Structure 1
Amino acid sequence: MSDRFKVLEEEKVFKDPVHRYIHVRDELIWDLIGTKEFQRLRRIRQLGTTYLTFHGAEHTRFNHSLGVYEIVRRMVENLEKKIAWDPEERLVCLAAALLHDIGHGPFSHSFEKVFHTDHEQWTRAIILGNTDVHRVLTSVGGKFPKKVADVIEKTYANKLVVSLISSQIDADRMDYLLRDAFYTGVSYGNFDMERILRVMRPKEDQAVFKHSGMHAVEDYIMSRYQMYWQVYFHPVTRSAEVILSKILHRAKDLYRAGYQFKDQPKHFYTLFSGEITLADYLKLDESVILYYFQEWADEEDPILHDLCQRFMDRRLFKYVECDPGKQMSVWPELLQLFAAIGLEPEYYLVIDSSSDLPYDFYRPGEEEERLPIHLLMPGGDLRELSRESEVVEAISGKKRTDHKLYFPMDFLEDQRTYAEEKQRIIALLKAQEG
């Protein structure tokens, strides 16, 4: 075998609570794991603020990335028995699986919303830029980093490779469902991954699944549905995300207004100005963010001070159910009352919406065209999953959305000042719950 595809003299293994062992045989993969950019993922939690709801959810993007790599390694090993894989194609697949999340920032999706960043763009920048990851990938060939980036961008010529890492049933989702269920202590995310891997069959554009394994695929779809509503969209986690987002918004607004911080947020300078470089981005992790939150809890600005104390001490906002289109006729009055008692509505009265589409079939021309899951029938034909499964048909194409209104109940229950206004606010909020 070419030096470009070196194998280790001795296989390396990681002990893993989800997959038991993660096996590394390729020198390329071992070297990528050792890069400073990949090691940074140890300092970024997989589930953001979920640890404030499920105290075991302390696992990291590093854990998850290794898990996705291991599932893809097993997929490729199985598929190699049925089709011919070029050695470089195999490495492209494994490297993309390992690196698919390397561009995530601290507190991931909340961070992205505030600063309008995209972790997939940063992932490609790390793979193609002046980084240790790029240098390791280039050891295989000058065009190799671009091939790995193309898989993550979903533009790679071999669509089967793309589907293993990004589709409606891929290694990424399989690992995070099982891993997140394990660390949060819930059973919703469990499904029979072994069975799914056994019934997987390669086709030109994607992996398909033998009809005899349909029930395992159904179980996977329902596990995903339950995890989103029981864990990922948990209202307490969303309360923490609201406060986190408002802290970052407030710090950015203060900086742009010329506010003098006691401890200048130098790690945020280029982020606040919209001129962040790759080197600056890679210095950001959750330890940095939490350091500043701890410092900002002592700032003179009352809003930043209060929000940071709330986040660090877990004094979160309460919530009521709401329907922005129907029930929020009281919104103008709420805004007026919050301003009257000294609570800026922009930071203390927040509607948060979450939505999910657990499974959908191909709908040409729609904004997000989804490649459906196909079953391989006994006669060799392919059938879209929802055409065979009544369970999946029942939820196909059905987008569920949930709206909640968050506010600081502890402040409202303090009746020492503005008692009449606070009582009116509480009455209006309770009325939203019906």
Structure 2
Amino acid sequence: MIPYREQKLTEEKVFKDPIHHYIHVRDRVIWDVIGTKEFQRLRRIRQLGTTYLVFHGAEHSRFQHSLGVYEIVRRIVDDVFTGRTEWREEERLVTLCAALLHDLGHGPFSHAFENVFELDHEQYTQAILLGNTEVNEVLSRVAPDFPERVANVIEKTYRDKLVVSLISSQIDADRMDYLQRDSYYTGVSYGHFDMERILRVMRPTEEQAVIKYSGMHAVEDYIMSRYQMYWQVYFHPVSRSAEVILIKILHRARQLYQEGYIFETNPTLFIPFFKERVTVEDYVALDESVLLSSFQLWQREKDAILSDLCTRFINRRLFQYAEFDPATEYQKFGKLQKLFERAGLDPTYYLVTDSSSDLPYDFYRTGEENERIPIHLQMPDGTLQELSRKSEIVEAISGKRRTDHKIYYPEDVLRRGAETNPHYAAILQLIGEK
């Protein structure tokens, strides 16, 4: 009897994929994990949240991305690393499973949803892997401790740091897939880089995957692609406007429930989140189809704020935005809050500040929170050099955080009422002042 961990499918299964052409599955455990309800749920979680309201092609899912990350890692461990003494073949299966399952705990609209209910998708990934789930049952067939090993890789506490670096580092399979995939589905060119070249010059070491010096320019291109994607796509101000409204919908619904408001349609699947008593089963039951169906129904709620916000989100009637510097314009924001109150617009829901921040590349800073392991180049003599010491392009952006602040407001309402309501006119004038 062949042990489960070594079982192969009688015939290789393939997924057609626009980024990697084919995604290959031969391992029985990988095929069985893909078939679990927890993994299939990722089909109903968009990879880019509200970005589809800006880039209409961005309808791709966490399911697609997870398969893509798996395929990149499969190529690395089966083709690039195979036969090299630094790579331990016995780590192959745990690495593939961690790649496939690294996003398993993402909730609907991901980070926006997490922020409202103070959840952590990585913690829920651990809970799904280790709980009474179909995924856990499949992984446990490999070995009783195998689910925990996979969870440790995703948690970045696994004993083999090389394995962790393939899933989570500044040049990992996760980023290599989402940059190309998100670029393809949004229709932009910023995320393109030469992944084939990077894989060809990637080498295993005890601590992490490193890049041969001859591949430095491909890595420079990768880092600049990431930089551009963040500012042109991920932090797009219109997408952030949709996310602001989404967050305010969930805040309003929770507040109403806690105040005893009687919904026209009972928000059954939200109640554990409103009560802050969420089980793994509750978490898995909620996906984006549930949220969108609820928003559709909540358009008809008696509460004017909830109804309006849901109508805005469903019909893409988003808030307008303006530049805002909280360091120098805090007094202006205070004035705006008072004007909104006088105008009869609740500033809690209709005057929102939002900030986006990104650090495109950083070198190792011992003891700092979220310290980053840098990308290392393997020099011709075998020594390792941190990337920014050799690349002037990367040195120019290393350790430099860029932050963007915006203020969001319902310009449509203000402009319609500006002629009859002096407070509306004053708000527009104050927002427009530099």
Instruction: Flag whether TM exceeds 0.5 (same fold).
Output: yes
Q: Measure, in 1, the Cα distance between the counterparts of 2:415 and 2:4.
A: 69
Q: Measure, in 2, the Cα distance between the counterparts of 1:290 and 1:117.
A: 20
How far does residue 368 in structure 1 lie from its aligned partner after superposition?
Answer: 1.5
Q: Measure, in 2, the Cα distance between the counterparts of 1:369 and 1:68.
A: 23
Residue 14 (structure 1) aligns with: 15
Over aligned residues, Cα RMSD in angstroms?
Answer: 1.0
Q: Measure, in 2, the Cα distance between the counterparts of 1:327 and 1:248.
A: 28
How far does residue 233 in structure 1 lie from its aligned partner after superposition?
Answer: 0.0
Label 1:416 to 1:349 Cα distance change in 2 as closer, same or farther (>3 A): closer
Which 5+ residue runs of structure 1 have no aligned equivalent? none
Residue 112 (structure 2) aligns with: 110
Task: Give the secondary-structure state (helix, strand or coil) at the position aligned to 2:52.
Answer: helix
Q: Is the 8 A contact 1:105 1:119 kept in 2?
A: yes
What pairs up with 1:238-249 in 2 under 5 angstroms?
238-249=240-251
1:92 equivalent among 85, 91, 94: 94
Task: Give the secondary-structure state (helix, strand or coil) at the position aligned to 1:102.
Answer: coil
Residue 50 (structure 1) aligns with: 51
Give the number of equivalent residue pairs. Answer: 432
**TM-score calculated relative to the size of structure 2:** 0.98
Residue 346 (structure 1) aligns with: 348
1:307 equivalent among 294, 306, 309: 309
What pairs up with 1:12-411 in 2 under 5 angstroms?
12-77=13-78, 78-83=80-85, 85-411=87-413
How far does residue 328 in structure 1 lie from its aligned partner after superposition?
Answer: 3.1
Letter in 2 for 1:306: D
Q: Is the 8 A contact 1:51 1:58 kept in 2?
A: yes
How far does residue 333 in structure 1 lie from its aligned partner after superposition?
Answer: 1.5
Ranges of 4+ aligned residues in structure 1 off by more than 3 Å: 84-88
Letter in 2 for 1:200: M
Q: Is the 8 A contact 1:322 1:328 kept in 2?
A: no
How far does residue 84 in structure 1 lie from its aligned partner after superposition?
Answer: 6.5
Q: Measure, in 2, the Cα distance between the counterparts of 1:415 and 1:309.
A: 19
Q: Measure, in 1, the Cα distance between the counterparts of 2:94 and 2:418.
A: 64
Identity percentage of aligned residues = 67
Label 1:417 to 1:423 Cα distance change in 2 as closer, same or farther (>3 A): closer
Q: Is the 8 A contact 1:5 1:88 kept in 2?
A: no
Q: Measure, in 1, the Cα distance between the counterparts of 2:195 and 2:167.
A: 15
Letter in 2 for 1:331: F
Letter in 2 for 1:419: N
Q: Is the 8 A contact 1:97 1:165 kept in 2?
A: yes
Letter in 2 for 1:8: L
**TM-score calculated relative to the size of structure 1:** 0.98
Task: Give the secondary-structure state (helix, strand or coil) at the position aligned to 2:353.
Answer: strand
Q: Measure, in 1, the Cα distance between the counterparts of 2:326 and 2:129.
A: 42
Q: Is the 8 A contact 2:86 2:205 kept in 1?
A: no
Letter in 1 for 2:158: Y
How far does residue 158 in structure 1 lie from its aligned partner after superposition?
Answer: 0.2
Q: Measure, in 2, the Cα distance between the counterparts of 1:56 and 1:113.
A: 25
How far does residue 332 in structure 1 lie from its aligned partner after superposition?
Answer: 1.9
Q: Measure, in 1, the Cα distance between the counterparts of 2:162 and 2:115.
A: 31
Q: Measure, in 2, the Cα distance between the counterparts of 1:85 and 1:404.
A: 47
Which stretch shows the higher mean deviation, 31-40 or 81-90? 81-90
Q: Is the 8 A contact 1:65 1:99 kept in 2?
A: yes
Task: Give the secondary-structure state (helix, strand or coil) at the position aligned to 1:196.
Answer: helix
Q: Measure, in 1, the Cα distance between the counterparts of 2:87 and 2:174.
A: 21
Q: Is the 8 A contact 1:353 1:403 kept in 2?
A: yes
How far does residue 341 in structure 1 lie from its aligned partner after superposition?
Answer: 1.1
Letter in 2 for 1:321: E
How far does residue 423 in structure 1 lie from its aligned partner after superposition?
Answer: 1.1
Which stretch shows the higher mean deviation, 84-93 or 369-378? 84-93
Which 5+ residue runs of structure 2 have no aligned equivalent? none
Letter in 1 for 2:61: T
How far does residue 325 in structure 1 lie from its aligned partner after superposition?
Answer: 0.7
Task: Give the secondary-structure state (helix, strand or coil) at the position aligned to 2:25.
Answer: strand
How far does residue 331 in structure 1 lie from its aligned partner after superposition?
Answer: 1.7
Residue 430 (structure 1) aligns with: 432
Task: Give the secondary-structure state (helix, strand or coil) at the position aligned to 1:351.
Answer: strand
